[in-house]
Structure formats: C-alpha cells, structure tokens
C-alpha cells in the first residue's frame, strides 16, 4: 500500500477513501463522545471598575495579558496539519501555549487569543465560549473574543466536529480537546485577573529572508496592475503591538507575520510549536530573564496572518532525486512525480530551519517592539456575524452577480504542497479530473451534483463534501466573520488560510470601509489567520483558475474571496458608523452532540522488561560533555497518556548541582528548546523515554543530571491502576568547551 503522508492542512485521497470505508465498516460501533466539560459552574462575574480617567486624548486602557500551557498527551494521537496517518505524537520538542490579550476602554472590551494549534476549529471555539460563559456570564462572547491558531503542524489533532477532519484525526478525541479548551480558558482567566491600566504602542516593519511564495504560478495569474502595486509576492510586513503599564514598563507584545509554521516537517513526531512558537519562546526568554520556559510575566504572542501561499522553506522546492527544479505549474518531478518535489531550508535540517526562521521573526519583532512609539488610542469595537457561506450572493455591480457554492475539494487538494505533498498520482494545477479517481469517488461517495460541479468550475471535484452528511456534515456551512478594533488598529479574524493577494484585498477593503466616514485616519489593518473556524484556503478568483493546492482547497468556490470581501466590508462599515449592535447575528452554527466518533483506542496497560522498574535507566549518560554535545539517556517508560492532564508539568528536567545550597536546580524542562523527549513504543506494550539535551554554548560548567517523570498503568488486584514514577540519570560533568577556555 502506498504510504500516505504530508498533505499540508488536508488529506490525501486514499486516506479519505479509506476513512470512508472504515467509517462504513464501523458504522455500528460509532462511539458517541460525551460532553467534555467537567468544571463546576463558577459564580457570576462582577466587572472591574472603569479605568482611571486621565487626559481624554490619551486615556489609558485596561490591559490584561496571560499565557497558559495547552499541551495535550504527546502519544498515539495524530498530529494536525500534514494529515499523515503515520505522524502520530511520540514526545515533546517544545510545549504549546495559549496567549491571551484583553483590552478594555471602560466601555467595551475585546479579547485576542493566539494559541499554538494548527487552526481553531468551530468545535474548539464553541467549547471555549461555553466555558467562558459559565465563568463570566456575558462578558466574553462570540463577538468580542477572537481565537487564532499559529498553524503549527505539530500539535494534536482530534478537536473537530466535521467528518472530513475527524476521518484523518481518529475522530473527536476528548484527550486532545480538553487541554486545548482548558489551556485557552486559563490564559483568558490569567489575563482577566491581572488587568491594569496601561498603554499600547505599535510599529510596523519588514522581514526579508524568511518566507517564499510556494504557488508563484497562481500569484502571477493576478492582474498585472495589481501585482505592480507590490514589491514582493509574499507580505513581508511585521506589525507589532507593545503593551506597557503606566510606568512605561513592557508587559507584553503581540505581532502578526504571514508564514506557514511548517519548518518542522512531516517526519517529526514530537509535539512542537514550530517557528512561530519558537519566536514567542525566544522573546519571552529574553524578557523574563532567569525564568523557565512558559514562566514569567511577559507574554509574547506571534500570530499567523495571510500565509496561505507562504512557505518558510526558503531554499525552495527541488526534486530530491535529481536536485533539479520541479515543474513550475505542477510542482512535480520527471521521476517520482509530486512526492519527489519538496521545499527545504534555510537550515540543514528541520530543527535548524525552525530555529533560524523563529529567530528571524523574533529579532525583527524585538527591534520593532523597542522602537514602538506610535500610541494606539481611541475606542474599542467588535463586530461579528455568522454567515452561511454556501449561499452568499455577490453583487459585483448593478448588472453582474455571482454566488458561492456548497463546499468541495478539487483534485489538486490531494497533491498537497511542496511543504508536504501527497504520495498518490495527483499533481497541482489540475483543472481536469482523473477518470480513475472519479470512478472511485462516484462508487464510494457518489458523484457531485451538476449544480455543484458547475458552481466550482474550473475545479474538478474530488471530494464533494458539501453534499456528504454522514455521520455528520463533512464540512461547515456556517462561518464566523469578525473584526475587532482598538483605536485605529483593526484585527480581521479570518476563517482559514488567505493567500498573500487575498489578504491584501481584504485589508484594503476593510480599510476603505473604516475610512468611509470621510475622516482620514491612520488605520492599520491586520489579518489574524486560522481564526475561529477552519475552512481551508481562500485564494483570489484569478488564483483559483490555476487550481494549485490552495485553489483546489478554496472550498466555497471561485467567488469565496468576493463573498468575504462583501461580508467583512459590512462589519467594517458598521464599526465606522458605530452601529455594530444593529448587525444581525446570523445563523448559529451547530454544536453536534450525537455521532461524533472516537476511534482512538484507550491506552493499554504498560509492560516493562523483567527485573526492571519504570524510570530505570536503560542507556546511561557519559561522564563528561562539552557545550555543543548531545546528552542522551533512555528510561523504562509508561504511556504519556496515563499522565492525564499534563499541562504545567514536565516529563523531563535537566538539573545542575548547586554547590552552595547542595541542591539540584532545574535549568531546562520539556518546554525548553534544548531538550527533546522521544517516547518510543516497543514490543509487548513496553516503551522507553529517550531524553536528549542539546547542550547550548551558553551552558554553565558544572555537575548535571537528567530526570524523567511519568505514569504507568498496571493491574493491581485485577484492576488497572495508574502510578507515578520517576527516574534519574547518573550525574555528569559539563566542562567548558575549548573555545570557551581560550576566549573567556
């Protein structure tokens, strides 16, 4: 059987067909998933007093900022992004965090959350909003809370309620949903509790050398006069908001930059926050000196943007077998086809690439943060609507009309991208169907209706998701559109991956409406990508005609972008005219309680080698290391899923012996960039934890040890019982490197 992997943000055809078959076979045993909320109800919320009045021109805001761990059990659960059946979690590279920013002008309040997840799903958002409602009543609502994902492809999957996404995620997985919901809500709780008067400053700059357009052929199909308005075929802009208290001390930073978080590729199986998360990590380590990762008051959010056609693999695509460039339109190779064409760089491996891209984004943001001097002042607004995206009529002028379509994915969707391509014989840029796959589709799923086929033209439909409703709809119909504004800063929350040019058109349309009252102001409009609900990609009409991966994944048809331009313009106009309360909420999205399925088997009882205990060292460390070396130690381990809620804990510590206090001090956890926690499955339900410490050049010389913490399940009195365990390496010495001795 062909190996299936690496379709960025999507599925390969075989997976879906297999998924359908599997679904049919298991119809009888579909496991209904129970409601995930276990938190007791909280007392109603009492709003804080209004901010102190000062100079009305520069009245401070109330600002609250919070960060919380949202990492789920890093074992057995598929990772979300490449839709590879082989890419299931097996350890931790870096932890995942949710970062929340609340701003209040004494009259209105908005919340912006950027979380280290592939994307926000409608289900995740609805569960978060329900939890916030229970705690805070009507304070945090669908109109004033934006949830955005960084688009890391190495977070856990399984938090979707539409069938297409459940098929590749082993269903709806409560173990994956809970830490996300609880982590996001906790970040809002922390922000809520520490609200204080403060100020916001903004700065914009450009970052080169960190992004590359992965579908230039599509981009070139945009009108020439439009392309000539821009220097580059990806947006290089970095927009930074600096948050300070009234003393001017920095308390947080929020930024937007458009690049895919796919520096970590489909071969990685450790949970990782990828390049955007690494930028947050570096900024927070910098601003919280002496703190372990995830600790410290300063919070740095790096939000996604219009990254639809933007790759971080800046050496670009080439054929791995011949080192020749790939075909320009199809991104395929003469020998090996699509799967041989991959993009790489800038580093020699994915870890180095992640580090370089993350460091570049961090460095630019830090520079802009330091220089931010343009104060953001003025009222806060939020506008939100639910829109039925399958049925939007677009009025181009008085004579010309068009409509969106029921969702469908085209053939090129199954080809994947040069950041991770499908293994089947699909190529990008396909505007003609393939009889072989069409026959399979018709047999298994039924042919798309003529109306849907015509509506999506020139997209040859592979998955007719809009007409598939078993056991639940395969794709959403009701989509969130939302804009929040703070002074003249507008954050447009978009439900998927806008391409570069789509994003530019949307920013421009929103800006135009915001300025429609005739007052010229310095509006800064940013797109927050992967927000609120996931609807794949949104290309321009012209890009859609080329039907590369992004066009094939524009699920509501060629006029999807036009529909969004119309709907977001409506919100922006309401904001400009101060009448957001008159916007009808639109049709409420469904919250499915039945027919969610969970195909993840429960974690089995753990086995261990005879005469060994959990936590025992199987492969010991060496006595001496130098900076630059990799320390490695392997322990007898339990399944990390037995550790339950792993948030704010660590499977790993690197500790140094403090001679003065004669105690071990933690210098790294599993959230640290320098550590890698690999969970490896063996035979007979036995597993091991291989812990690596990549000793940084900055490491202090001294005596160290590595500890591993976990839980195992065994039978006690014939009942499965979970017990904690702990293991420690022998102590080892890190000596100064030769370089270090000579120069310091």
Q: 506 φ, ψ to 5°?
A: -70, -45
Cα separation of 162 and 172, whole Å?
Answer: 9
Nearer to Zn ion, 9 or 65 (CB): 9
Q: Minimal distance in Å, beta carbon 544 to Zn ion?
A: 17
List of E strands, 212-298: 212-213, 237-245, 250-256
Tokens 């796919």 belong to residue? 262
Cα separation of 640 and 643, whole Å?
Answer: 5
3-state secondary structure of 583: coil
Nearer to Zn ion, 316 or 433 (CB): 316
Lay out the site mask for Zn ion across 208-227 (x = CB under 5 A, - = otherwise): --------------------
Nearer to Zn ion, 9 or 80 (CB): 9
Cα separation of 219 and 544, whole Å?
Answer: 10
Q: 88 φ, ψ to 5°?
A: -105, 150
Give the interface segment with Zn ion, choosing from 6-14, 172-180, 191-199, 207-215 (CB under 5 A).
6-14
Nearer to Zn ion, 172 or 534 (CB): 534
Cα separation of 534 and 124, whole Å?
Answer: 10
3-state secondary structure of 301: strand
**HEC readout, 438-495:** HHHHHHHCCCCCHHHHHHHCCCCEEECHHHCCCCCCCCCCEEEEEEEEECCEEEEECC
Q: Minimal distance in Å, beta carbon 9 to Zn ion?
A: 4
Lay out the site mask for Zn ion across 404-443 (x = CB under 5 A, - = otherwise): ----------------------------------------
- Judged by phi (left if over 0) then psi (alpha if -120 to 50, else beta), residue 737 lies in beta
Nearer to Zn ion, 497 or 524 (CB): 497
3-state secondary structure of 709: strand
Written as six digits, the tokens of 159 are 């938090």
Among 9, 380, 394, 514, binds Zn ion (CB under 5 A): 9
Q: Minimal CA–CA distance to 572: which of 380, 379, 383?
A: 383
Q: Minimal distance in Å, beta carbon 261 to Zn ion?
A: 8
Q: Minimal distance in Å, beta carbon 53 to Zn ion?
A: 45
3-state secondary structure of 137: coil
Q: Minimal distance in Å, beta carbon 553 to Zn ion?
A: 9
Lay out the site mask for Zn ion across 362-391 (x = CB under 5 A, - = otherwise): ------------------------------
Q: 485 φ, ψ to 5°?
A: -130, 140
Q: Is 311 a catalytic residue?
A: yes
Give the rounded distance of the alpha carbon of 113 from its chain centre. 12
Q: Count other Cβ atoms within 10 Å, centred on residue 740.
A: 15
Written as six digits, the tokens of 241 are 């908001």
Give the interface segment with Zn ion, choosing from 2-10, 245-253, 270-278, 562-570 (CB under 5 A).
2-10
Q: 415 φ, ψ to 5°?
A: -80, -20
Number of residues that bind Zn ion (CB under 5 A): 2
Give the interface segment with Zn ion, choosing from 7-15, 107-115, 117-125, 222-230 (CB under 5 A).
7-15
Nearer to Zn ion, 143 or 497 (CB): 497
Cα separation of 355 and 674, whole Å?
Answer: 11
Nearer to Zn ion, 10 or 60 (CB): 10
Tokens 């190779």 belong to residue? 333
Cα separation of 323 and 328, whole Å?
Answer: 15
Give the rounded distance of the alpha carbon of 54 from its chain centre. 39
CB 536 within 8 A of CB 494: no
Give the rounded distance of the alpha carbon of 608 from its chain centre. 36
Nearer to Zn ion, 252 or 496 (CB): 496
Q: How does DSSP classify residue 586?
A: -
**Window 495 to 554, contacts with Zn ion (CB under 5 A):** 497
Give the rounded distance of the alpha carbon of 29 from its chain centre. 31
For residue 137, with 0-12 CB atoms within 10 Å meaning exposed, 13-18 middle and 19 or more buried, which class applies? middle
Lay out the site mask for Zn ion across 446-485 (x = CB under 5 A, - = otherwise): ----------------------------------------
Q: Minimal distance in Å, beta carbon 152 to Zn ion?
A: 10
Distance of CA 302 to CAs 99, 231, 296, 700, Å? 9, 24, 17, 30
CB 453 within 8 A of CB 442: no
Q: Which of 187, 215, 305, 311 is catalytic?
A: 311
Cα separation of 281 and 263, whole Å?
Answer: 16
Cα separation of 175 and 572, whole Å?
Answer: 38
**Window 487 to 506, contacts with Zn ion (CB under 5 A):** 497
Nearer to Zn ion, 143 or 419 (CB): 419
Distance of CA 251 to CAs 116, 297, 300, 301, 398, Å? 20, 7, 9, 12, 51
Nearer to Zn ion, 428 or 737 (CB): 428
**Rounded to 10 degrees, what is the CA torsion of 447, 448, 450, 451?**
160
Q: Percent helix, strand, coil in the chain (nearest 5)?
A: 25, 30, 45
Q: Minimal CA–CA distance to 19: which of 6, 32, 4, 8?
A: 4
Per DSSP, what are the bridge partners of residue 254?
A: 241, 301
Q: Minimal distance in Å, beta carbon 709 to Zn ion?
A: 34
Task: Give the end-to-end CA distance of the chain in Å, rounded to a whole number.
Answer: 57
By annotation, the residues acting in catalysis are 311
Interaction site with Zn ion (CB under 5 A): 9, 497
């Amino acid at each position: 059987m062909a190996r299936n992997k690496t379709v960025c943000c999507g599925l390969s055809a075989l997976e879906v067909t297999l998924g359908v078959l599997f679904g049919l076979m298991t119809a009888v045993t579909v496991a209904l998933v129970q409601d995930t909320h276990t938190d007791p109800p909280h007392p109603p919320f009492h709003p804080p007093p209004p901010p102190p009045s000062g100079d009305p021109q520069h009245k401070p805001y109330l600002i609250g900022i919070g960060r919380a761990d949202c990492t789920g059990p890093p074992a057995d659960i598929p990772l979300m992004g490449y839709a590879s059946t082989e890419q299931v979690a097996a350890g931790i590279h870096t932890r995942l965090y949710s970062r929340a920013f609340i701003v209040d002008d004494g009259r209105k309040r908005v919340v912006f959350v950027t979380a280290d997840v592939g994307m926000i799903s409608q289900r995740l958002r609805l569960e978060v909003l329900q939890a916030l409602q229970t705690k805070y009543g009507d304070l945090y609502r669908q109109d004033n809370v934006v949830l955005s994902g960084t688009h890391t492809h190495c977070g856990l999957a399984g938090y979707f309620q539409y069938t297409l996404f459940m098929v590749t995620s082993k269903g709806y997985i409560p173990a994956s949903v809970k830490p996300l919901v609880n982590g996001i809500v906790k970040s809002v709780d922390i922000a809520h509790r520490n609200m204080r008067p403060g100020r916001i400053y903004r700065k914009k700059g450009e970052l080169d050398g960190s992004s590359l357009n992965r579908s230039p052929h599509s981009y070139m199909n945009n009108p020439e006069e439009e392309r000539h308005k821009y220097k580059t075929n990806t947006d290089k802009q970095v927009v930074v908001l600096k948050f300070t208290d009234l003393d001017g001390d920095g308390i947080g930073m929020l930024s937007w930059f458009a690049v895919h978080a796919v520096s970590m590729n489909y071969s990685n199986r450790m949970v990782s926050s990828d390049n955007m998360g690494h930028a947050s990590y570096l900024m927070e380590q910098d601003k919280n000196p002496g703190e372990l990762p995830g600790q410290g008051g300063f919070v740095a959010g790096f939000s996604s943007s219009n990254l639809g056609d933007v790759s971080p693999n800046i050496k670009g695509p080439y054929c791995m077998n011949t080192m020749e460039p790939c075909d320009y339109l199809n991104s395929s190779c003469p020998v090996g086809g699509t799967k041989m064409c991959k993009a790489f760089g800038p580093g020699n491996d994915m870890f180095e690439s992640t580090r370089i891209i993350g460091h570049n984004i961090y460095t630019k943001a830090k520079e802009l943060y330091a220089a931010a001097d343009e104060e953001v002042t003025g009222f806060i607004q939020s506008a939100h609507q639910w829109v039925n995206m399958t049925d939007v009529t677009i009025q181009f002028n008085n004579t010309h009309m068009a409509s969106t379509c029921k969702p469908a994915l085209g053939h090129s969707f199954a080809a994947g991208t040069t950041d991770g391509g499908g293994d089947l014989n699909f190529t990008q840029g396909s505007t003609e169907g393939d009889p072989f796959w069409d026959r399979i589709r018709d047999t298994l799923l039924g042919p798309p209706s003529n109306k849907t086929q015509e509506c999506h033209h020139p997209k040859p439909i592979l998955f007719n998701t809009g007409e598939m409703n078993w056991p639940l709809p395969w794709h959403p119909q009701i989509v969130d559109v939302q804009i929040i504004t703070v002074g003249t800063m507008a954050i447009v929350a978009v439900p998927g991956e806008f391409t570069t040019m789509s994003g530019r058109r949307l920013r421009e349309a929103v800006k135009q409406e915001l300025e429609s009252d005739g007052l010229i102001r310095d509006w800064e409009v940013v797109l927050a990508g992967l927000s609120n609900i996931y609807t794949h990609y949104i290309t321009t009409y012209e890009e859609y005609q080329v039907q590369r991966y992004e066009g094939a994944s524009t699920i509501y048809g060629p006029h999807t972008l036009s529909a969004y331009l119309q709907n977001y313009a409506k919100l922006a106009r309401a904001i400009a005219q101060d009448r957001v309360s008159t916007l009808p909420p639109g049709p409420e999205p469904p919250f499915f309680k039945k027919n969610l399925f969970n195909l993840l088997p429960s974690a089995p009882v753990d086995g261990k080698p005879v005469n060994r205990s959990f936590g025992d060292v199987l492969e010991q460390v060496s006595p001496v290391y130098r900076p630059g070396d990799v320390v490695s130690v392997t322990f007898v381990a339990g399944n990390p899923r037995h550790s339950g809620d792993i948030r704010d804990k660590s499977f790993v510590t690197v500790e140094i012996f403090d001679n003065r206090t004669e105690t071990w001090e933690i210098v790294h956890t599993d959230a640290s960039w320098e550590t890698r926690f690999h969970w490896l499955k063996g035979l007979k339900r036995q597993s091991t934890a291989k812990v690596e410490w990549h000793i940084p050049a900055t490491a202090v010389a001294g005596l160290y040890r590595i500890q591993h913490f976990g839980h195992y399940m065994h039978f006690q009195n014939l009942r499965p019982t979970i017990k904690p365990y702990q293991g420690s390496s022998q102590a080892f010495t890190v000596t100064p490197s030769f370089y270090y001795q000579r120069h310091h």
